[in-house]
Structure 1
């Protein structure tokens, strides 16, 4: 446990680091952060976070790279002049996304050549379709890279993997690349079609896999009733949602309902990937909530965020082995 002197020393150091960073030019902060992440970019991976807010010295400002196209995200509703100058001179295609806005729209084109059609980005040797014209998210959540790697490692030929709240099916593609037969579940048909495209981009026949449109709770109850079992189940729900009957789901108090149903659909020796980006929960709170209805013999293993996420550690990940 830290002593009062130690805490004072840490606070003192943090304060002067903050003062120092305030004096560093914006272009230098970005150049330093981008240079630190160059080792992550290679022939197999060209989609990573390049700048991570307070972790790189500028709170509430983030930069992601998708195959040499950049998306700048800010929590402010404007871009400062020094930021504009840096991105205007960088020579890249740059789009801007305002975070935490009530109206979630496409990113706005700022500089460089416009990207008006979907394109391919790579992560760990897997190809994913990216779009800047399909709403608030671009097709893949880069903070889940390590979990996608683990899904591929733990998916073997003959395994059946269920990907719930699948969005564009990135976890499904990872599992299929490991040899598994996947079932991809989402409320949105356009996202299910996008998931099929992602399989095709990796020379995987979508017809060899399953796609389910609808509510995750409905399908998990249906699978349990039918006795349909899986070797791995991925749970990465939105922090808040409401079903077609008006029933509300909140991660901080309802996640156990998901893991309970998922456990009923799991083969002996199977695994559940439980994940959330809910900032209201601590790691301890998430473990308690996600596990409180699981069988007592479970093993829970956390997995940290990818290394370039040096700021807020908002993503909680637990791998449950049952």
Structure 2
């Protein structure tokens, strides 16, 4: 499995990493966040990090924590740009800010492979970076997420980017995908960002490694002729051999490429994030 590197841009840099932490610049704001994949030693000492940083996320458990403000003058909410798109960032209790920079390579792929009026589906869409990229190309975009606040956040990003007419779908992603299959709808591009675990439409708990085959099957049914599917997975329990095993059972003449999403720090350290599965006809 090869490494797929995303690039820094004007408003984002992975400055350094090490000791299970990473130092990032988001526009003018610099954060320190935990990252277990930064298992190596940082290049610059932590004392230098803390002189630069505005906020640090302190983990209380694997699923939550709180932000410590290091610069009393720093704003807890701010806007960054990616090319002509704009994103509102917030300090959340889950250490995320509203954007996943390691997916920048995906955004460029979407932009290069969609044309005006192509239909595009973003399942588990979060705050909508992929949706905005597709809409900017003129695609007819459907964005599905089950959390009302996240849909509102995505809409805010759309309006900040001077875009409109994204179809916001507040629904369980698997339920919506199954209904779309029954309706016979198809999409030129499909992106999925399923969580490592979740709660289904009937409140049942599920794990990604158990649902991956169903997700891939639904995506193949929803993909239009000559379309593409991107599935980003961050579960340590879903291995690349598992992905290929499911693919062998479901794919016909499609090509599948599984890469590891990566970012390189400005100090030349590499953080690996998760798998990116690309399926094309």
Q: TM-score, normalised by structure 1?
A: 0.75
1:257 matched to 2:219? The reply is: no
What is the number of equivalent residue pairs in this alignment? Answer: 265
Match of 1:50 in 2: 15
1:175 to 134, 146, 154: 134
* Structure 1: runs of 5 or more not aligned: 1-38, 54-58, 77-81
Report how far residue 89 of structure 1 moved: 2.9
Once the two structures are TM-superposed, the CA of residue 225 in structure 1 deviates from its matched residue by 0.7
Q: Distance in 2 between matches of 1:94 and 1:218?
A: 40
What residue in structure 2 maps to residue 85 of structure 1? 47
Q: Distance in 2 between matches of 1:51 and 1:99?
A: 19
1:298 correspondence with 2:257: no
Q: Distance in 2 between matches of 1:46 and 1:130?
A: 12
Q: Report the Cα offset of residue 244 of structure 1.
A: 4.1
Superposed displacement of residue 236, structure 1: 1.2
TM-score by length of 2: 0.85
Which one of 146, 159, 176 corresponds to residue 118 of structure 2? 159
Unaligned runs of 5+ in 2: 1-6, 37-43
Q: How far apart, CA to CA, are the structure 2 residues paired with 1:75 and 1:315?
A: 12
Change (3 A) 1:135 1:318: closer
Superposition RMSD on alpha carbons, in Å?
A: 2.5
Q: How far apart are 1:103 and its partner, in Å?
A: 5.2
> Which portions of structure 1, spanning 4 or more consecutive aligned residues, are displaced by more than 4 angstroms?
none
Q: Is the 8 A contact 2:262 2:273 kept in 1?
A: no
CA distance in 1, matches of 2:138, 2:31: 33
Q: Secondary structure at the match of 1:97?
A: strand
Alpha-carbon spacing, 1:251–1:88, altered in 2? closer, same or farther (3 Å): closer
Q: What is the CA-CA distance between 1:197 and the residue it aligns to?
A: 1.3
Which structure is higher in RCO with an 8 Å CA cutoff and minimum separation 6? 2
**1:26-61 per-position Cα deviation (integer Å, ceiling 9, x unaligned):** xxxxxxxxxxxxx944xxx312322233xxxxx312
State which of 145, 168, 175 in structure 2 corresponds to 1:211: 168
SS at match of 1:111: coil
Whose strand proportion is higher, 1 or 2? 2
1:119 maps onto 2:84 in alignment: no
Q: Is the 8 A contact 2:102 2:273 kept in 1?
A: no
Structure showing greater radius of gyration is: 1
